[in-house]
């Protein structure tokens, strides 16, 4: 890849020096993200029999997030000023990070689609049979993300030095044909599915007679839908918007655009901290509101019944 002189100078100035912001942010993501996802994994494994289809997707999402987080300590080491990393290690960790990032995108989309089908077609035997194929869907996602990523990284022909490492751009960020495929398959289609399913979930909640009672907090479910969609968009839209801009520059990419790419990638990695919010809403909202609401209503009915019975007993 060819760089202009000013870009090379800026790039050289960015290495060998501590980048406090990236060190702090990646350290925060590593520690907090690892703890939250580890707790989520323990919870899912302990409740493996509860809502098994959703748990399957969420367990795989936790694994993808943890694998992504495990690549971050080396990035922290690099941003501490230690730029003596071999290029093959940088590319291998970049491969793992990108594959798991897109794995997270596909799994979040699958969770949203699964919820939408379960809510809108609860009595459909065909839908229920399809939902039971969650393990096969997850296997397909792993095969797709790593299967599509490895050939792209192996096809790199340009000569690079160790100074590129995490400041360099992946090949799919500079080749228009690869960028378009990545944007369409890796982000465009999942975003459309997320939008349609979120609309379908919101519509089902508004029309549900159960949601109009005290058994289910419809507003909380609406917040769950909105939160999941916002997390998805805020985490991944900036990164893919930068990819579009990078593809327009061709090989002569200025340093500010490469810096913007690094910041957008960091924001995408921050999704590993936000995903547990999706876990909380998904596993808590329907379970706690429906079950606890029913218990409260039964308790109130029993209390009223007891009071009525006692009032009918004559005083001695």
pLDDT, residue 209, reads 56
Q: Per residue in 11-34, pLDDT tens?
A: 444 445 678 999 999 999 999 999
pLDDT, residue 105, reads 94
Q: What rounded mean pLDDT belongs to the chain?
A: 76
Spell out the residues 6+ positions from residue 66 whose beta carbon is closer than 8 angstroms to its own: 34, 37, 38, 41
Q: For the chain, what percentages of helix, strand and coil (3-state, to nearest 5) are there?
A: 80, 0, 20
pLDDT, residue 228, reads 83
The whole-number average pLDDT for the span 259-284 is 84
Q: How far apart are CA 113 and CA 99, in angstroms?
A: 21
pLDDT, residue 299, reads 42
In the predicted structure, residue 196 carries a pLDDT above the cut 80 = yes
Q: Where are the domains of the chain?
A: 5-292
pLDDT, residue 225, reads 80
Straight-line distance from the first to the last Cα atom of the chain, in angstroms, rounded to the nearest whole number: 98
The whole-number average pLDDT for the span 265-289 is 74
pLDDT, residue 109, reads 92
Are 257 and 245 within 8 A, CB to CB? yes
In the predicted structure, residue 155 carries a pLDDT above the cut 80 = no
For residue 292, what pLDDT band results from cuts at 50, 70 and 90? very low
Q: Per residue in 58-102, pLDDT tens?
A: 899 999 999 999 999 999 998 888 878 887 888 888 888 989 999
pTM here is 0.78
Spell out the residues 6+ positions from residue 312 whose beta carbon is closer than 8 angstroms to its own: none
pLDDT, residue 66, reads 94
The better pLDDT of the pair 66, 316 is held by 66
pLDDT, residue 26, reads 95
Q: Per residue in 200-236, pLDDT tens?
A: 888 887 776 555 544 445 566 677 788 888 889 999 9
CATH assignment of 5-292, given 1.20.1070.10, 3.40.640.10, 3.40.50.880, 2.60.40.1180? Answer: 1.20.1070.10
Spell out the residues 6+ positions from residue 25 whose beta carbon is closer than 8 angstroms to its own: 266, 270
For residue 39, what pLDDT band results from cuts at 50, 70 and 90? confident
pLDDT, residue 9, reads 41
Nearest to 165 by CA among 87, 82, 94: 87
């Amino acid at each position: 890849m060819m760089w202009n002189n000013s870009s090379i100078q800026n790039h050289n100035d960015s290495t060998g020096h501590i980048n406090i912001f990236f060190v702090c942010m990646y350290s925060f993501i590593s520690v907090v993200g690892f703890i939250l996802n580890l707790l989520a994994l323990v919870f899912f494994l302990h409740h493996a029999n509860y809502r098994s289809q959703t748990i399957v997707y969420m367990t795989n999402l936790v694994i993808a997030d943890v694998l992504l987080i495990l690549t971050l300590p080396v990035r922290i080491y690099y941003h501490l000023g230690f730029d003596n990393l071999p290029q093959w290690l940088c590319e291998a960790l970049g491969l793992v990070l990108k594959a798991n990032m897109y794995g997270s995108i596909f799994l979040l989309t699958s969770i949203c689609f699964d919820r939408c089908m379960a809510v809108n077609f609860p009595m459909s035997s065909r839908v229920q049979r399809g939902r039971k194929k969650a393990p096969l869907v997850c296997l397909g996602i792993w095969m797709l993300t790593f299967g599509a990523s490895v050939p792209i990284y192996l096809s790199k022909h340009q000569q690079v030095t160790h100074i590129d490492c995490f400041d360099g751009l992946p090949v799919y960020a500079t080749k228009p044909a690869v960028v378009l495929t990545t944007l369409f398959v890796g982000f465009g289609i999942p975003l459309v599915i997320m939008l349609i399913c979120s609309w379908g979930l919101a519509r089902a909640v508004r029309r549900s007679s159960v949601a109009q009672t005290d058994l289910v907090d419809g507003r909380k479910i609406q917040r769950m839908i909105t939160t999941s969609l916002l997390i998805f968009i805020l985490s991944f839209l900036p990164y893919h918007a930068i990819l579009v801009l990078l593809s327009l520059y061709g090989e002569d990419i200025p340093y500010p655009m490469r810096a913007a790419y690094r910041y957008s990638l960091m924001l995408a990695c921050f999704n590993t901290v936000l995903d547990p919010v999706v876990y909380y809403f998904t596993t808590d909202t329907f379970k706690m509101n429906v079950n606890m609401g029913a218990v409260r209503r039964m308790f109130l009915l029993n209390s009223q019944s007891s009071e009525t019975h006692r009032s009918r007993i004559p005083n001695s």
